[in-house]
Chains A and B, each alone.
Chain A
Amino acid sequence: MAKLTPPINKNDHVQGPPDGIVTLVEYGDYQCPHCGAAFPIVKQIEKAFVKNLRFAFRHFPLSNVHQYAFPAAIAAEAAARQGKFWEMHDMIFEQQSLLNEYALLEFAKEVGLKIPAFKMDLRDPKLAEKVEADFESGVRSGVNGTPSFFINGDKHDGPFDYATLASAVEEKMRRVHVTR
């Protein structure tokens, strides 16, 4: 089975309790409609398992088919520099149908970023490197499309509707309890 490589580390954007016993990782593309559809489902999962689940998002932009996917990923990373990764992440998915380069600037204003710093960060090659590193880790982890989910490091094959994802998370929780 495909394994998350590398595991969650300090470069990741993580939400939820740091000692959460289940970690859900999504490889996603901000312009991918399937990722847009998965967004509220992930929110629902986070809410349902609020005490036990950490969620991390890694970038997997398919730039040839989604021209704004890479700029959007960079924008989220630039927002992270101001401590607002998740605000930007949510905004992009919530307003996915409006996505373009101009909209990203509007989103940045909306989430309250300092715009001059944001604009400067967009041009920082380090952010592009971060996005590319996420992509490469996805390739190594066996990501075969977006969104791809990993639960405690194991690839989740199959649909990502709420019921399926939730039962996969529960299954992992049970297993952790057994081994502890």
Chain B
Amino acid sequence: MLNKNEVAPDFELFATPDQKLSLHQLRGKNVILAFYPADWSPVCGDQMTLYNEMLNYFKKYNAELLGVSVDSKWCHAAFTRDRKLHFSLLADFHPKGEVAKKYGVYNEKEGQCERALFVINAEGNITWSYLSPIAVNPGADGIIEALEKIKQPQLVK
């Protein structure tokens, strides 16, 4: 699993059925990457429901939240609609788990992502990462602490 001070590997994944999102597009913003095993499973559902309520807090820290699982873009679209999610879920679907593997959080045995969190600063470096037990919803206290530690970037003239 990638750690603090390592460069966050770039990626490009579907965020909606017809739109891709890449990490480098978010340069200048802090990014929270939340890898999780699967849409629809109870714990993940709670975790994403929780984060969905926190978007305003994340925004205060100039941070964008992205969920990542190996579910397909259509599955994500249905899950997003059902849970009224207001942030992007990325489909690490093809080749399966490629991005999770780059971050060292792919579970080969189960064929899904681990439950892992990364906070990436505006320069694209990882400032905090956390691997949660698969059945435990890690909450967001660690994310908030990590964001507080990131100094807000100086405005470029």
Which residues of A are in contact with B by a Cβ distance under 8 Å? 2, 61-65, 135-136, 139-145, 157
Q: Are B57 and A136 in contact (CB under 8 A)?
A: yes
- Write the nearest CB–CB distance from A136 to chain B, whole angstroms: 7
Comparing B30-38, B97-105, B132-140, the segment that makes contact with chain A is: B132-140
Are A63 and B53 in contact, CB atoms less than 8 angstroms apart? Answer: yes
Question: Which residue of the partner chain A has the closest CB to B148?
Answer: A140
The distance from the CB of B49 to the nearest CB of chain A, in whole angstroms, is 6
Is B83's CB within 8 Å of the partner chain A? yes
Given contacts A64-B49, A65-B49, A144-B136, list 6 more A-B pairs with CB under 8 A.
A62-B50, A139-B140, A139-B141, A141-B141, A144-B139, A144-B140
A77 CB to closest chain B CB (Å) equals 18
Question: Are A62 and B141 in contact, CB atoms less than 8 angstroms apart?
Answer: no
Q: Which of B46, B57, B84, B86 contacts A139 (CB 8 A)?
A: B57
- Taking the nearest CB of chain A, how far is it from the CB of B77, in angstroms? 17
- The verdict on B144 contacting chain A, using a C-beta distance below 8 Å, is yes
Specify which chain A residues have a CB less than 8 angstroms from the CB of B86 in the assembled complex: 64
- Which A residue sits closest to B54, measured CB to CB? A139
Which parts of B106-154 form the interface with A (CB within 8 Å)? 136-141, 144
Bound Cα distance from A140 to B54, whole angstroms: 11
Q: Does B3 contact A (CB under 8 A)?
A: no
Residues of B within 8 A of A (CB): 46-47, 49-50, 52-54, 57, 83-86, 136-141, 144
Bound Cα distance from A135 to B57, whole angstroms: 10
Q: Is the CB of A135 within 8 A of B46?
A: no
Minimum CB distance partner of A132 in chain B: B56
A88 to B122, CA, bound (A): 46
* Interfacial chain A residues near B137, Cβ < 8 Å: 144-145
Cβ-closest 5 pairs across A and B: A144-B139, A144-B137, A142-B141, A142-B139, A145-B46
Report if A140-B52 is in contact (Cβ < 8 Å); known contacts: A65-B83, A65-B84: no
Of the residues A63, A135, A143, contact of B139 by C-beta under 8 Å? A143
Least Cβ distance of A156 to chain B in Å?
Answer: 13
**Neighbouring B residues of A145 by C-beta, 8 Å:** 46, 49-50, 137
How far does the alpha carbon of A2 sit from the alpha carbon of B53 in the complex, in Å? 20
The interface residues of chain B lying within 8 Å CB-to-CB of A135 are: 53
A2 to B50 CA separation, bound complex (whole angstroms): 16
- Complex: A117 Cα to B33 Cα, angstroms: 46
Shortest Cβ gap from B48 to chain A (Å): 10
Q: How far is the CA of A2 from the CA of B144 in the complex (A)?
A: 13
Q: Which residues of A contact B52 (CB under 8 A)?
A: 64
